[in-house]
Structure 1
Amino acid sequence: MSELSAVIETRGLTKRYRGGQLAVDRLDLAVPRGSVFGFLGPNGSGKTTTIRMLMGLIEPTSGSARVLGEPMPRAARRVLPRVGALIEGPALYGFLSGRDNLVRFDAADPDADPRTRSARVAAALERVGLTAAAGKRARAYSLGMKQRLGLAAALLQPRELLVLDEPTNGLDPQGMREIRSLVRELAADGTTVFLSSHLLDEIEQVCSHAAVMAQGRLLVQGTVAALASSARGRLAVTTPDTTDAVRVLKEHGVTDLVVADDRVTGDPPVPDGPDAEPLDLADLNAALVAAQVRVRAFGTERASLEDAFVALTGEGFDVG
């Protein structure tokens, strides 16, 4: 991917802390312009360390990073005014109201026109649903409200890139839906959104592209659709004859069989060798019928990003 089409690009990006802990290991990342890019991994996988390097908050041990086509952290003064960021939760003045916090943040921006400040602050508050609570002191805000206020600060000016580290942390389900809707709106307006999360459903619902991190290393990146399709879907059979169905499916190579009420699920058989023909699912259905298993529904379920993650790592995952 060229620098023009990649909003974020890293080459061998590595961070080793004192004491030898390797937080990020030779990361090669490419975030396409105009995408909603999900940066996915369990807590401790290196996501926040990566974001801090991209934003010039910490220096990499080795490797390089380019943001908006410019080298970071060297070009931070040129790059950061074009980037909105919410990293590790917002740093707020607890004694000030939500509105006054935004006024402070806006006043710290040398490019912000003071004559239109109040209008910008009002628009940012409305966009994250905090207009009614704008006069309340930030120390009285819930965790979710503080998260919204931090997002409002990132949206005071139009941004080419929005970097969000766990943006729905602490939000109730309704707040999560609102933030996800806001991310979609921003992307529709042409903003590239880089969104880190440990919630698989969050990535699947709002992201066009994703990368999966584990223990500091990049496992895979690509479109969300491609990542999900890389995992095989589960076979699902609905039948009142679950015991006989399990026996027949096992005989035909279906593995990891699970029975729940009148439903049997399992992993379709893997062909033996590169030249072997995959089992035709119609033949599997016919075998069930021949064994007098009453089949009420039969098919494969669409693979999810969770299936892809488990296939990649062999680990479970917090699906929120």
Structure 2
Amino acid sequence: MDEPSAAETEEADAGGGGIIATRGLTKRFRGGQLAVDGLDLTVPAGSVFGFLGPNGSGKTTTIRMLMGLIEPTSGTARVLGRPMPRSARTVLPQVGALIEGPALYGFLSGRDNLLRYDAADPTADPRTRRTRVAAALDRVGLTAASGKKAKAYSLGMKQRLGLASALLQPRKLLVLDEPTNGLDPQGMREIRSLIRELASDGTTVFLSSHLLDEIEQVCTHAAVMAQGRLITQGSVTELAAGTRGRLFVTTPDTGDAARVLKEQGLADVVVAEERVTAEPPDRELAEVNKALVTAGIRVRGFGVERASLEDAFVALTGEGFDVAG
């Protein structure tokens, strides 16, 4: 049996090498398509880790390799300190996962779906099954709809039910693929709050999302993929700090302000209502402000905004918001 030693378990729990760690992880499909190319990824213990990338960047393929659903062409992947997919039987009972949407029995109620999920877990105590299912339904806000057949659920309700299935047992690691897909704004806030709560309880959360503001709001760390390669990884604060922010001018004289900024040599000048933004200059900001005031511009706000994760993502990949995949 491929059981973890006490030392290995302690190392995984302490984050020695990361709750998830890949080295040179590569997947080449038939026909020569290189989906993941030499990925070196480290997910710290206790983090909420966001996984970002444009269409075809290799995110989903990576997640499937981490969960033992497909084998890598080369390289290694370790989850909870154990090699995958070889240790899947040891690792997966400690991992909750929602990948590419939940797989549900449409003719069963939400509650009965969870009862079946729980019954399929060899580590689950059947004597407390209904208690676990009720608690999971309550955590995702589905108690009132638990008797309704799953085929009648909305996309958001199905997503909640899939998340509930991942929460039936205490987990060291939760892997979520687009966890707020199909949810209304209130539902998105609730799931984000739940993710933070799980992380505060010691669960490491690894999630992919095409919503950059979601990653910035809920994640402590992130990685960016493009064309199968890892572009960067680190804390969300560090990733954003590595990108220059935008100079902004708040004024009713937007047209004249934009003209002055261009005359001052500033690039990428954008006008939106009573606000003009541009790439920050390499010289003193006071000189730019003086030029605006001298030109008679009524400056009501002026400065450089902190770069967002969206700014960092666009700077790194050259891509916009279409980052699902």
TM-score (norm 2): 0.92
* 2:213 corresponds to 1:201: yes
Moved more, 183-192 or 226-235: 226-235
Aligned to 1:274: none
Alpha-carbon spacing, 1:234–1:319, altered in 2? closer, same or farther (3 Å): farther
Q: What whole-Å deviation, never above 9, does each CA across 1:292-315 have from its counterpart, x for those lacking one?
A: 322221111221111111111222
1:204 is aligned with what amino acid?
Answer: E
Alpha-carbon spacing, 1:121–1:240, altered in 2? closer, same or farther (3 Å): closer
In the TM superposition, what is the alpha-carbon distance from 1:319 to its structure 2 partner? 8.2
Aligned to 1:315: 319
Gaps of 5+ in 1: 270-277
Q: What whole-Å deviation, never above 9, does each CA across 1:46-99 have from its counterpart, x for those lacking one?
A: 111100000001000111000001110111111111111011111111111111
Q: Distance in 1 between matches of 2:251 and 2:231?
A: 38
2:297 is aligned with what amino acid?
Answer: V
Moved more, 287-296 or 37-46: 287-296
Q: What whole-Å deviation, never above 9, does each CA across 1:184-231 have from its counterpart, x for those lacking one?
A: 110011100000111101101100000011221111111111111111
Aligned to 1:303: 307
Moved more, 27-36 or 135-144: 135-144
Q: Distance in 2 between matches of 1:138 and 1:243?
A: 55
In the TM superposition, what is the alpha-carbon distance from 1:162 to its structure 2 partner? 0.3
CA contact (8 A) 1:23 1:215 kept: yes
Q: What whole-Å deviation, never above 9, does each CA across 1:240-273 have from its counterpart, x for those lacking one?
A: 333432333223221111122332211012xxxx
CA contact (8 A) 2:249 2:301 kept: yes
* 2:215 corresponds to 1:211: no
Q: How does 1:107-256 map to 2 (within 5 A)?
A: 107-256=119-268
CA contact (8 A) 1:228 1:303 kept: yes
Q: Distance in 1 between matches of 2:181 and 2:30?
A: 29
Alpha-carbon spacing, 1:61–1:293, altered in 2? closer, same or farther (3 Å): same
1:297 is aligned with what amino acid?
Answer: G
CA contact (8 A) 2:55 2:323 kept: no
* 2:293 corresponds to 1:281: no
2:307 is aligned with what amino acid?
Answer: A
In the TM superposition, what is the alpha-carbon distance from 1:5 to its structure 2 partner? 5.0
CA contact (8 A) 2:96 2:174 kept: yes
Q: Distance in 1 between matches of 2:266 and 2:107?
A: 62
Q: Distance in 1 between matches of 2:169 and 2:319?
A: 40
Moved more, 286-295 or 194-203: 286-295
2:260 is aligned with what amino acid?
Answer: V
- Tell me the secondary structure at the aligned position of residue 132 of structure 1: coil
In the TM superposition, what is the alpha-carbon distance from 1:163 to its structure 2 partner? 0.4
- Tell me the secondary structure at the aligned position of residue 29 of structure 1: strand
CA contact (8 A) 1:199 1:318 kept: no
Q: Distance in 2 between matches of 1:258 and 1:202?
A: 25
Q: Distance in 1 between matches of 2:323 and 2:311?
A: 11
Q: Distance in 2 between matches of 1:259 and 1:111?
A: 59
1:135 is aligned with what amino acid?
Answer: G
Percent identical: 80
Q: Distance in 2 between matches of 1:288 and 1:319?
A: 38
- Tell me the secondary structure at the aligned position of residue 162 of structure 1: strand
1:34 is aligned with what amino acid?
Answer: G
1:283 is aligned with what amino acid?
Answer: E
- Tell me the secondary structure at the aligned position of residue 75 of structure 2: strand
2:118 is aligned with what amino acid?
Answer: D
In the TM superposition, what is the alpha-carbon distance from 1:43 to its structure 2 partner? 3.3
In the TM superposition, what is the alpha-carbon distance from 1:167 to its structure 2 partner? 1.0
Q: Distance in 1 between matches of 2:54 and 2:188?
A: 19
CA contact (8 A) 1:306 1:319 kept: no
Q: Distance in 1 between matches of 2:27 and 2:291?
A: 55
CA root-mean-square deviation: 1.7
1:291 is aligned with what amino acid?
Answer: A
Moved more, 240-249 or 41-50: 240-249
1:45 is aligned with what amino acid?
Answer: S
Q: How does 1:84-99 map to 2 (within 5 A)?
A: 84-99=96-111
Q: Distance in 2 between matches of 1:247 and 1:138?
A: 58
Gaps of 5+ in 2: 1-10
2:180 is aligned with what amino acid?
Answer: T
Q: How does 1:5-20 map to 2 (within 5 A)?
A: 6-20=18-32
- Tell me the secondary structure at the aligned position of residue 128 of structure 2: helix
